[in-house]
Structure 1
Amino acid sequence: MKKKYGNIRLSSSELGKMLLASQQTASRLLIRMEERGFIKRVLSGKKQNITLEEKGISALYEEMAELSDLLGIIENFSISGTVSSGLGEGRYYVSKKPYVVQFSEKLGIIPYPGTLNVRILPDDESKLRMLRANEGILIGGFESDDRTYGDVKAFGCKIKNVDCAAIFPYRSVYKDIIEIISSEYLRERLGLSDGDLVKIDFTIKN
Protein backbone atom coordinates (compact mmCIF):
# COMPACT_ATOMS: atom_id res chain seq x y z
CA MET A 1 0.00 0.00 0.00
CA LYS A 2 1.82 3.10 -1.18
CA LYS A 3 0.51 6.51 -2.08
CA LYS A 4 2.46 9.51 -3.33
CA TYR A 5 2.09 12.69 -1.31
CA GLY A 6 3.08 16.31 -1.74
CA ASN A 7 4.93 16.21 -5.06
CA ILE A 8 5.28 19.88 -6.02
CA ARG A 9 7.68 22.02 -8.04
CA LEU A 10 8.62 25.49 -6.86
CA SER A 11 11.54 27.80 -6.15
CA SER A 12 12.82 29.06 -2.80
CA SER A 13 11.60 32.53 -3.76
CA GLU A 14 8.07 31.25 -4.38
CA LEU A 15 8.07 29.45 -1.04
CA GLY A 16 9.38 32.58 0.66
CA LYS A 17 6.46 34.61 -0.70
CA MET A 18 4.00 32.00 0.60
CA LEU A 19 5.60 32.16 4.05
CA LEU A 20 6.08 35.95 4.00
CA ALA A 21 9.80 35.29 4.42
CA SER A 22 12.96 35.91 2.45
CA GLN A 23 14.28 33.57 -0.22
CA GLN A 24 17.26 32.78 2.02
CA THR A 25 15.02 31.84 4.95
CA ALA A 26 12.88 29.60 2.74
CA SER A 27 15.98 27.94 1.31
CA ARG A 28 17.38 27.23 4.78
CA LEU A 29 14.02 25.81 5.84
CA LEU A 30 13.95 23.39 2.91
CA ILE A 31 17.52 22.30 3.60
CA ARG A 32 16.73 21.61 7.28
CA MET A 33 13.59 19.68 6.37
CA GLU A 34 15.56 17.54 3.95
CA GLU A 35 18.33 16.94 6.50
CA ARG A 36 15.74 15.77 9.02
CA GLY A 37 14.19 13.37 6.54
CA PHE A 38 10.85 15.16 6.09
CA ILE A 39 11.21 15.87 2.37
CA LYS A 40 13.22 14.89 -0.68
CA ARG A 41 14.42 17.58 -3.10
CA VAL A 42 15.53 17.26 -6.70
CA LEU A 43 16.90 20.43 -8.29
CA SER A 44 15.46 21.27 -11.69
CA GLY A 45 16.73 24.52 -13.18
CA LYS A 46 15.81 27.44 -10.95
CA LYS A 47 13.19 25.34 -9.20
CA GLN A 48 13.12 22.06 -7.29
CA ASN A 49 10.80 19.08 -7.15
CA ILE A 50 9.80 18.44 -3.54
CA THR A 51 8.25 15.21 -2.29
CA LEU A 52 7.14 14.41 1.23
CA GLU A 53 8.99 11.48 2.76
CA GLU A 54 7.35 8.99 5.13
CA LYS A 55 8.61 10.91 8.16
CA GLY A 56 7.12 14.13 6.84
CA ILE A 57 3.75 12.53 6.12
CA SER A 58 3.61 11.08 9.63
CA ALA A 59 4.49 14.46 11.13
CA LEU A 60 1.61 16.13 9.27
CA TYR A 61 -0.90 13.57 10.50
CA GLU A 62 0.38 13.99 14.05
CA GLU A 63 -0.15 17.75 13.76
CA MET A 64 -3.69 17.16 12.48
CA ALA A 65 -4.40 14.86 15.43
CA GLU A 66 -3.06 17.45 17.89
CA LEU A 67 -5.27 20.15 16.36
CA SER A 68 -8.32 17.88 16.68
CA ASP A 69 -7.38 17.27 20.30
CA LEU A 70 -6.97 21.00 20.95
CA LEU A 71 -10.36 21.77 19.41
CA GLY A 72 -12.11 18.87 21.14
CA ILE A 73 -13.29 17.36 17.88
CA ILE A 74 -15.11 14.02 17.97
CA GLU A 75 -14.44 12.01 14.85
CA ASN A 76 -16.63 9.17 13.62
CA PHE A 77 -15.21 7.22 10.71
CA SER A 78 -14.86 3.74 9.26
CA ILE A 79 -11.87 1.91 7.84
CA SER A 80 -12.42 -0.97 5.44
CA GLY A 81 -10.18 -3.88 4.61
CA THR A 82 -10.00 -7.59 3.95
CA VAL A 83 -9.51 -10.36 6.47
CA SER A 84 -5.98 -11.72 6.34
CA SER A 85 -4.07 -14.49 8.10
CA GLY A 86 -1.27 -13.19 10.30
CA LEU A 87 2.02 -14.64 11.46
CA GLY A 88 0.38 -16.42 14.39
CA GLU A 89 2.03 -14.17 16.98
CA GLY A 90 -1.18 -12.45 18.09
CA ARG A 91 -2.38 -15.43 20.11
CA TYR A 92 0.89 -15.52 22.05
CA TYR A 93 1.07 -11.81 22.85
CA VAL A 94 -2.55 -11.01 23.72
CA SER A 95 -2.61 -13.97 26.12
CA LYS A 96 0.18 -12.52 28.28
CA LYS A 97 -1.30 -11.71 31.70
CA PRO A 98 0.01 -8.12 32.03
CA TYR A 99 -1.57 -7.29 28.67
CA VAL A 100 -4.81 -9.13 29.51
CA VAL A 101 -5.17 -7.21 32.79
CA GLN A 102 -4.75 -3.87 31.00
CA PHE A 103 -7.08 -4.84 28.15
CA SER A 104 -9.71 -5.64 30.76
CA GLU A 105 -9.18 -2.51 32.87
CA LYS A 106 -8.71 0.01 30.07
CA LEU A 107 -10.79 -1.43 27.23
CA GLY A 108 -13.31 -3.63 29.01
CA ILE A 109 -12.17 -6.60 26.94
CA ILE A 110 -10.81 -9.94 28.08
CA PRO A 111 -9.48 -10.96 24.69
CA TYR A 112 -10.07 -14.20 22.89
CA PRO A 113 -6.57 -15.65 22.35
CA GLY A 114 -5.68 -14.30 18.95
CA THR A 115 -6.23 -11.28 16.73
CA LEU A 116 -8.29 -10.66 13.62
CA ASN A 117 -5.97 -9.16 11.03
CA VAL A 118 -7.51 -6.74 8.53
CA ARG A 119 -5.48 -5.56 5.55
CA ILE A 120 -6.57 -1.99 4.85
CA LEU A 121 -7.84 -0.97 1.42
CA PRO A 122 -5.57 1.56 -0.35
CA ASP A 123 -8.36 4.17 -0.40
CA ASP A 124 -8.45 4.15 3.41
CA GLU A 125 -4.72 4.66 3.92
CA SER A 126 -5.19 8.28 5.02
CA LYS A 127 -7.72 7.20 7.67
CA LEU A 128 -5.29 4.62 9.01
CA ARG A 129 -2.55 7.23 9.20
CA MET A 130 -4.84 9.59 11.08
CA LEU A 131 -5.85 6.83 13.48
CA ARG A 132 -2.23 5.93 14.21
CA ALA A 133 -1.41 9.61 14.80
CA ASN A 134 -3.96 9.89 17.62
CA GLU A 135 -2.95 9.32 21.22
CA GLY A 136 -5.16 6.29 21.77
CA ILE A 137 -5.14 4.22 24.96
CA LEU A 138 -1.73 3.15 26.18
CA ILE A 139 -1.28 -0.50 27.07
CA GLY A 140 2.03 -0.49 28.89
CA GLY A 141 4.86 -2.86 28.13
CA PHE A 142 6.55 -5.08 30.69
CA GLU A 143 9.41 -7.49 31.28
CA SER A 144 8.92 -11.21 31.71
CA ASP A 145 10.95 -14.36 31.14
CA ASP A 146 14.11 -12.32 30.52
CA ARG A 147 12.57 -10.41 27.62
CA THR A 148 10.81 -7.11 27.11
CA TYR A 149 7.28 -6.74 25.75
CA GLY A 150 6.65 -3.33 24.21
CA ASP A 151 3.94 -0.72 24.60
CA VAL A 152 0.74 -1.04 22.61
CA LYS A 153 -1.60 1.72 21.43
CA ALA A 154 -5.29 0.78 21.40
CA PHE A 155 -8.56 2.24 20.09
CA GLY A 156 -12.06 1.01 20.84
CA CYS A 157 -14.05 0.08 17.74
CA LYS A 158 -16.90 -2.05 16.43
CA ILE A 159 -17.33 -4.54 13.61
CA LYS A 160 -21.00 -5.16 12.82
CA ASN A 161 -21.90 -3.83 16.29
CA VAL A 162 -19.54 -6.26 18.03
CA ASP A 163 -17.30 -4.45 20.54
CA CYS A 164 -13.62 -4.74 19.65
CA ALA A 165 -10.36 -2.85 19.93
CA ALA A 166 -7.73 -2.08 17.33
CA ILE A 167 -4.23 -2.55 18.71
CA PHE A 168 -0.96 -1.19 17.35
CA PRO A 169 2.19 -2.61 18.96
CA TYR A 170 4.93 0.00 18.77
CA ARG A 171 7.28 -2.68 17.44
CA SER A 172 4.84 -4.08 14.89
CA VAL A 173 6.13 -5.09 11.46
CA TYR A 174 2.72 -4.36 9.95
CA LYS A 175 2.17 -1.10 8.06
CA ASP A 176 -1.14 -1.71 6.29
CA ILE A 177 -2.79 -4.13 8.72
CA ILE A 178 -4.98 -3.46 11.76
CA GLU A 179 -4.94 -6.12 14.47
CA ILE A 180 -8.32 -6.47 16.19
CA ILE A 181 -9.00 -8.03 19.58
CA SER A 182 -12.38 -8.92 21.03
CA SER A 183 -13.86 -11.00 23.81
CA GLU A 184 -15.28 -13.18 21.06
CA TYR A 185 -13.72 -15.30 18.32
CA LEU A 186 -14.55 -12.86 15.54
CA ARG A 187 -14.04 -15.21 12.61
CA GLU A 188 -16.66 -17.54 14.06
CA ARG A 189 -18.95 -14.85 15.52
CA LEU A 190 -19.12 -12.93 12.23
CA GLY A 191 -18.61 -15.84 9.85
CA LEU A 192 -15.40 -14.40 8.41
CA SER A 193 -12.79 -16.02 6.17
CA ASP A 194 -9.62 -14.74 4.53
CA GLY A 195 -10.43 -12.24 1.80
CA ASP A 196 -13.79 -11.16 3.25
CA LEU A 197 -14.40 -7.41 3.31
CA VAL A 198 -15.04 -5.86 6.73
CA LYS A 199 -15.74 -2.34 7.95
CA ILE A 200 -14.29 -1.19 11.27
CA ASP A 201 -16.16 1.68 12.95
CA PHE A 202 -14.27 4.13 15.16
CA THR A 203 -15.22 7.06 17.37
CA ILE A 204 -12.21 9.11 18.41
CA LYS A 205 -12.89 11.55 21.25
CA ASN A 206 -10.16 14.16 21.41
Structure 2
Amino acid sequence: MSAAAPSTDRERSRLRSKGEELAVLKQLGLAGADRAPLELTSREVGERIGASQQAADRYLVALEKRGYLTRTLVGRRPKLALTPAGVDALRAEYHIYHRIFDGPARISFQGTVASGLGEGRYYLTQPGYAQQFPSRLGYGPFPGTLNVRIEAGPRRQIGLVRHWAGIRIDGFRAGDRTFGGATCYVARLVDHPCHLIRPDRTHYEDVVEFVAPESLRETLHLTDGMDVRVEVEES
Protein backbone atom coordinates (compact mmCIF):
# COMPACT_ATOMS: atom_id res chain seq x y z
CA MET A 1 0.00 0.00 0.00
CA SER A 2 1.50 3.33 -1.02
CA ALA A 3 1.49 6.35 1.27
CA ALA A 4 -0.96 9.10 0.48
CA ALA A 5 0.50 12.31 -0.88
CA PRO A 6 0.33 15.43 1.33
CA SER A 7 -3.07 16.96 0.68
CA THR A 8 -2.43 20.58 1.65
CA ASP A 9 0.27 23.20 1.22
CA ARG A 10 0.63 23.24 5.01
CA GLU A 11 1.32 19.49 5.11
CA ARG A 12 3.81 19.73 2.24
CA SER A 13 5.56 22.60 4.04
CA ARG A 14 5.74 20.57 7.25
CA LEU A 15 7.31 17.62 5.42
CA ARG A 16 9.86 19.90 3.74
CA SER A 17 10.70 21.49 7.09
CA LYS A 18 11.41 18.11 8.67
CA GLY A 19 13.74 17.22 5.80
CA GLU A 20 15.56 20.53 6.06
CA GLU A 21 15.82 20.27 9.85
CA LEU A 22 17.45 16.89 9.33
CA ALA A 23 19.79 18.51 6.79
CA VAL A 24 20.82 20.99 9.50
CA LEU A 25 21.56 18.14 11.91
CA LYS A 26 23.63 16.38 9.25
CA GLN A 27 25.69 19.49 8.52
CA LEU A 28 26.29 20.12 12.21
CA GLY A 29 27.30 16.50 12.67
CA LEU A 30 29.70 16.66 9.72
CA ALA A 31 31.23 19.80 11.21
CA GLY A 32 31.80 18.10 14.57
CA ALA A 33 29.04 19.68 16.67
CA ASP A 34 28.47 16.31 18.31
CA ARG A 35 31.93 16.61 19.90
CA ALA A 36 32.25 20.32 20.68
CA PRO A 37 30.16 23.49 20.21
CA LEU A 38 30.68 25.30 16.90
CA GLU A 39 30.54 29.01 16.19
CA LEU A 40 28.00 29.24 13.37
CA THR A 41 25.44 31.92 12.54
CA SER A 42 22.06 31.14 11.01
CA ARG A 43 23.32 32.71 7.78
CA GLU A 44 26.26 30.29 7.70
CA VAL A 45 23.97 27.36 8.46
CA GLY A 46 21.67 28.50 5.65
CA GLU A 47 24.59 28.58 3.21
CA ARG A 48 25.46 25.00 4.13
CA ILE A 49 21.96 23.69 3.40
CA GLY A 50 21.07 26.05 0.54
CA ALA A 51 18.44 28.02 2.48
CA SER A 52 17.90 31.64 3.44
CA GLN A 53 19.08 33.00 6.77
CA GLN A 54 15.45 33.38 7.90
CA ALA A 55 14.62 29.77 7.03
CA ALA A 56 17.79 28.47 8.71
CA ASP A 57 16.98 30.43 11.85
CA ARG A 58 13.50 28.90 11.87
CA TYR A 59 14.96 25.39 11.60
CA LEU A 60 17.44 26.08 14.40
CA VAL A 61 14.69 27.35 16.69
CA ALA A 62 12.56 24.26 15.94
CA LEU A 63 15.48 21.89 16.59
CA GLU A 64 16.31 23.65 19.84
CA LYS A 65 12.69 23.38 21.01
CA ARG A 66 12.72 19.66 20.23
CA GLY A 67 15.89 19.22 22.29
CA TYR A 68 18.13 18.29 19.35
CA LEU A 69 20.62 21.13 19.73
CA THR A 70 21.66 23.90 22.07
CA ARG A 71 22.44 27.51 21.16
CA THR A 72 24.52 29.76 23.38
CA LEU A 73 25.95 33.21 22.74
CA VAL A 74 29.67 33.81 23.09
CA GLY A 75 30.01 37.54 22.68
CA ARG A 76 27.88 38.18 19.61
CA ARG A 77 28.58 34.80 18.01
CA PRO A 78 26.23 31.87 18.61
CA LYS A 79 27.64 28.45 19.44
CA LEU A 80 25.72 25.39 18.30
CA ALA A 81 26.05 21.90 19.75
CA LEU A 82 24.18 18.67 19.11
CA THR A 83 22.52 17.11 22.14
CA PRO A 84 22.37 13.34 22.73
CA ALA A 85 18.85 13.44 21.25
CA GLY A 86 20.20 15.15 18.13
CA VAL A 87 22.94 12.56 17.74
CA ASP A 88 20.34 9.85 18.25
CA ALA A 89 18.23 11.31 15.43
CA LEU A 90 21.25 11.07 13.12
CA ARG A 91 21.84 7.47 14.20
CA ALA A 92 18.23 6.64 13.33
CA GLU A 93 18.70 8.17 9.88
CA TYR A 94 21.94 6.25 9.41
CA HIS A 95 20.18 3.02 10.26
CA ILE A 96 17.51 3.62 7.61
CA TYR A 97 20.18 3.96 4.91
CA HIS A 98 22.10 0.99 6.29
CA ARG A 99 19.00 -1.19 6.02
CA ILE A 100 18.29 0.04 2.47
CA PHE A 101 21.78 -0.65 1.13
CA ASP A 102 23.14 -3.41 3.38
CA GLY A 103 20.06 -5.22 4.67
CA PRO A 104 19.17 -6.03 8.29
CA ALA A 105 21.73 -4.95 10.85
CA ARG A 106 23.75 -7.23 13.11
CA ILE A 107 25.92 -6.56 16.11
CA SER A 108 28.08 -8.75 18.32
CA PHE A 109 29.60 -7.98 21.69
CA GLN A 110 30.90 -9.56 24.85
CA GLY A 111 29.41 -9.24 28.31
CA THR A 112 29.48 -10.78 31.76
CA VAL A 113 26.75 -12.92 33.31
CA ALA A 114 25.19 -11.22 36.33
CA SER A 115 22.36 -11.90 38.76
CA GLY A 116 19.28 -9.71 38.69
CA LEU A 117 16.67 -8.87 41.30
CA GLY A 118 14.14 -11.45 40.16
CA GLU A 119 12.07 -8.86 38.31
CA GLY A 120 12.28 -10.80 35.05
CA ARG A 121 10.42 -13.75 36.54
CA TYR A 122 7.70 -11.47 37.89
CA TYR A 123 7.10 -9.69 34.60
CA LEU A 124 7.38 -12.70 32.29
CA THR A 125 4.69 -14.53 34.24
CA GLN A 126 2.19 -11.67 34.05
CA PRO A 127 -0.76 -12.97 31.97
CA GLY A 128 -0.82 -9.80 29.86
CA TYR A 129 2.71 -10.58 28.64
CA ALA A 130 2.63 -14.38 28.79
CA GLN A 131 -0.29 -14.68 26.38
CA GLN A 132 1.59 -12.70 23.70
CA PHE A 133 4.86 -14.64 23.65
CA PRO A 134 3.80 -17.88 21.88
CA SER A 135 2.41 -16.09 18.83
CA ARG A 136 5.14 -13.46 18.62
CA LEU A 137 8.29 -15.31 19.66
CA GLY A 138 7.12 -18.80 18.78
CA TYR A 139 7.46 -20.05 22.35
CA GLY A 140 6.59 -19.30 25.94
CA PRO A 141 9.81 -18.16 27.64
CA PHE A 142 11.29 -19.72 30.75
CA PRO A 143 10.05 -17.61 33.69
CA GLY A 144 13.17 -15.56 34.21
CA THR A 145 15.66 -13.55 32.17
CA LEU A 146 19.41 -13.99 31.90
CA ASN A 147 21.18 -10.73 32.72
CA VAL A 148 24.40 -9.80 30.92
CA ARG A 149 26.38 -6.79 32.09
CA ILE A 150 28.05 -4.78 29.33
CA GLU A 151 30.76 -2.11 29.17
CA ALA A 152 30.52 1.33 27.55
CA GLY A 153 31.48 0.21 24.02
CA PRO A 154 28.79 -2.48 23.66
CA ARG A 155 26.37 -0.12 25.38
CA ARG A 156 26.68 2.27 22.44
CA GLN A 157 26.03 -0.62 20.05
CA ILE A 158 22.96 -1.68 22.00
CA GLY A 159 21.75 1.92 21.84
CA LEU A 160 21.39 1.49 18.07
CA VAL A 161 19.10 -1.51 18.51
CA ARG A 162 16.15 0.66 19.47
CA HIS A 163 16.04 1.91 15.87
CA TRP A 164 15.75 -1.63 14.52
CA ALA A 165 12.62 -3.44 13.46
CA GLY A 166 11.94 -5.81 16.34
CA ILE A 167 9.16 -7.98 17.73
CA ARG A 168 6.80 -5.91 19.84
CA ILE A 169 5.34 -7.10 23.11
CA ASP A 170 2.52 -4.71 23.94
CA GLY A 171 1.98 -3.06 27.28
CA PHE A 172 -1.30 -3.50 29.11
CA ARG A 173 -3.28 -2.46 32.14
CA ALA A 174 -4.15 -4.81 34.99
CA GLY A 175 -6.32 -3.39 37.75
CA ASP A 176 -4.93 0.00 38.69
CA ARG A 177 -1.43 -0.73 37.35
CA THR A 178 0.00 -0.09 33.90
CA PHE A 179 2.65 -2.45 32.50
CA GLY A 180 4.92 -1.06 29.78
CA GLY A 181 5.72 -2.72 26.49
CA ALA A 182 8.98 -4.26 25.29
CA THR A 183 10.74 -5.13 22.05
CA CYS A 184 12.48 -8.43 21.36
CA TYR A 185 15.32 -9.09 18.91
CA VAL A 186 16.64 -12.37 17.52
CA ALA A 187 19.89 -13.24 19.29
CA ARG A 188 22.43 -15.97 19.94
CA LEU A 189 24.15 -16.23 23.30
CA VAL A 190 27.19 -18.51 23.27
CA ASP A 191 25.78 -19.64 19.89
CA HIS A 192 22.49 -20.65 21.54
CA PRO A 193 19.28 -19.18 20.02
CA CYS A 194 17.35 -16.77 22.22
CA HIS A 195 15.90 -13.25 22.18
CA LEU A 196 17.21 -10.03 23.62
CA ILE A 197 14.32 -8.27 25.35
CA ARG A 198 14.37 -4.49 25.84
CA PRO A 199 11.64 -3.09 28.10
CA ASP A 200 10.38 0.35 27.12
CA ARG A 201 10.99 1.36 30.72
CA THR A 202 14.14 0.11 32.40
CA HIS A 203 16.31 1.13 35.34
CA TYR A 204 19.48 -0.33 33.84
CA GLU A 205 21.83 1.02 31.19
CA ASP A 206 24.66 -1.46 31.70
CA VAL A 207 22.59 -4.67 31.70
CA VAL A 208 20.78 -6.43 28.85
CA GLU A 209 18.32 -9.28 29.31
CA PHE A 210 17.71 -12.45 27.31
CA VAL A 211 14.82 -14.91 27.16
CA ALA A 212 14.53 -18.42 25.73
CA PRO A 213 12.20 -21.42 26.07
CA GLU A 214 14.59 -22.91 28.61
CA SER A 215 16.75 -21.56 31.42
CA LEU A 216 19.80 -20.15 29.64
CA ARG A 217 21.78 -20.21 32.86
CA GLU A 218 21.18 -23.93 33.40
CA THR A 219 21.30 -25.03 29.75
CA LEU A 220 24.60 -23.27 29.06
CA HIS A 221 26.03 -23.95 32.56
CA LEU A 222 26.56 -20.25 33.21
CA THR A 223 27.55 -18.67 36.50
CA ASP A 224 27.94 -15.06 37.55
CA GLY A 225 31.14 -13.47 36.29
CA MET A 226 31.46 -15.67 33.19
CA ASP A 227 32.16 -13.86 29.92
CA VAL A 228 29.71 -14.62 27.11
CA ARG A 229 29.61 -13.75 23.43
CA VAL A 230 26.35 -12.32 22.11
CA GLU A 231 25.09 -11.77 18.56
CA VAL A 232 21.92 -9.79 17.86
CA GLU A 233 20.25 -9.26 14.49
CA GLU A 234 17.40 -7.16 13.22
CA SER A 235 14.11 -8.98 12.69
TM-score (norm 1): 0.83
Structure 1 segments of 4 or more deviating over 4 A?
Answer: 68-72
Q: Distance in 2 between matches of 1:24 and 1:151?
A: 42
What is residue 83 of structure 1 aligned with on the other side? Answer: 113
Q: Alpha-carbon deviation of 1:68?
A: 4.2
SS at match of 2:213: coil
What is residue 27 of structure 2 aligned with on the other side? Answer: none
Q: Alpha-carbon deviation of 1:179?
A: 1.4
Over alpha carbons, which structure has the higher Rg? 2
Q: Distance in 2 between matches of 1:57 and 1:119?
A: 24
Match for residue 103 of structure 1 among 124, 133, 153: 133
2:95–2:163: 8 Å Cα contact kept in structure 1? yes
What is residue 7 of structure 1 aligned with on the other side? Answer: 36
Q: Distance in 2 between matches of 1:93 and 1:121?
A: 25
SS at match of 2:205: coil
| Distance of aligned partners of 1:151 and 1:50 in 2 relative to their CA distance in 1, 3 Å threshold | same
What is residue 113 of structure 1 aligned with on the other side? Answer: 143
| Distance of aligned partners of 1:125 and 1:47 in 2 relative to their CA distance in 1, 3 Å threshold | farther
Q: Distance in 1 between matches of 2:117 and 2:34?
A: 30
Unaligned segments of structure 2, at least 5 residues: 1-32
- The reply to whether residue 73 of structure 1 matches residue 123 of structure 2 is no
| Distance of aligned partners of 1:101 and 1:194 in 2 relative to their CA distance in 1, 3 Å threshold | same
1:82–1:121: 8 Å Cα contact kept in structure 2? no
1:74–1:203: 8 Å Cα contact kept in structure 2? yes
Q: Alpha-carbon deviation of 1:194?
A: 3.0
1:61–1:130: 8 Å Cα contact kept in structure 2? yes
Q: Distance in 1 between matches of 2:167 and 2:194?
A: 13
| Distance of aligned partners of 1:30 and 1:113 in 2 relative to their CA distance in 1, 3 Å threshold | same
1:167–1:181: 8 Å Cα contact kept in structure 2? yes
| Distance of aligned partners of 1:41 and 1:85 in 2 relative to their CA distance in 1, 3 Å threshold | farther
What is residue 130 of structure 1 aligned with on the other side? Answer: 160
SS at match of 1:201: strand
Q: Distance in 1 between matches of 2:206 and 2:34?
A: 17
SS at match of 1:93: helix
What is residue 27 of structure 1 aligned with on the other side? Answer: 57
Q: Larger deviation: 93-102 or 160-169?
A: 93-102
1:79–1:128: 8 Å Cα contact kept in structure 2? no
What is residue 216 of structure 2 aligned with on the other side? Answer: 186
Q: Distance in 1 between matches of 2:227 and 2:81?
A: 32
Task: After superposition, give the CA deviation of every residue in 1:81-125 in whole Å (9 maximum; x if it has no partner).
Answer: 222332321110011233223222211232111111223321123
Higher relative contact order (CA 8 A, sep 6+): 1
| Distance of aligned partners of 1:51 and 1:58 in 2 relative to their CA distance in 1, 3 Å threshold | same
Task: After superposition, give the CA deviation of every residue in 1:123-170 in whole Å (9 maximum; x if it has no partner).
Answer: 123321211122311112223344222221111111112111111121
Unaligned segments of structure 1, at least 5 residues: none
What is residue 11 of structure 2 aligned with on the other side? Answer: none
Identify, as 1 or 2, the structure richer in helix: 2
1:7–1:49: 8 Å Cα contact kept in structure 2? no
Q: Distance in 2 between matches of 1:195 and 1:51?
A: 39
| Distance of aligned partners of 1:51 and 1:86 in 2 relative to their CA distance in 1, 3 Å threshold | farther
Identify, as 1 or 2, the structure richer in strand: 1
What is residue 52 of structure 1 aligned with on the other side? Answer: 82
2:99–2:105: 8 Å Cα contact kept in structure 1? no
1:139–1:154: 8 Å Cα contact kept in structure 2? yes
Give me the identity figure in percent: 36
